[in-house]
Amino acid sequence: MSGQFAGKTVAITGFGPIGAMSAAIAEHNGASVVIVTDVSDHALETARRWAASRNFDNLHTFNVRTTEPAVVKKAVEALTGGVGVDVVCEMSGSGAAINFGLDIVRMGGTLSLLGLPAGHSVTIDDYTRNVIFKGVTMHGIIGRRMYSTWQRMLALLRSGLDVEWVVQATFDTLHEFHEGIARFDRHEALKVVFFPEGEQNAQKRLS
């Protein structure tokens, strides 16, 4: 997916851990604009802090719980010169988010779909207009392709991709397991890492 991003406008629906990594890859690979939607103000604030840390000025965030989709769509159209985004990375599994992605993607654009819905079915609101007449490519992601995705990610990391910031809480024992998981559940940390024998001992074993 990383090769799709250079010079492109990218929308990411759902800023959980995978959405955050998608944003990092998009920025690293030269996306011109990154648009993030989520239903959590905390998630969107995390996205803004990340962009500030990278001096990335072309991040735009929208809370789609508190702002009407039509208003967000109009804002996206303004950001993309009225044509829509080039790439949508759908990471939430929400039917509303999938339909929103189809609404904002440009003619001939791409949707990469990873989020899993609560049930087995999703209703497309306007299949004729948003899929057929737009000529979009919908790419379902079922998981990693051993070993090509590992090699691609290692190459991205060697080239300077920074995803360390996604780990936002670490604990030196499992005694704080419930607190760590609670922070994750409250969206206060994208990723939580536990070191059962302490972080220093883990680092010694890796060195």
* Per-residue pLDDT reduced to its tens digit, 23-41: 999 999 999 999 999 999 9
Mean pLDDT for the stretch of residues 178-198: 92
Mean pLDDT for the stretch of residues 44-66: 97
**Which residues 6+ apart lie within 8 Å of 37 measured at CB?**
11, 12, 13, 14, 15, 61, 62, 63, 64, 72, 97, 100
Q: What was the pLDDT predicted at 141?
A: 87
CATH class for the region spanning 2-158 = alpha beta
Domain residue limits, the chain: 2-158, 166-206
pLDDT at 206 over 90: no
Look up the pTM and report it.
0.88
Mean pLDDT for the stretch of residues 147-172: 90
d(CA 116, CA 128): 23
Tell me what the pLDDT averaged over the chain comes to: 93
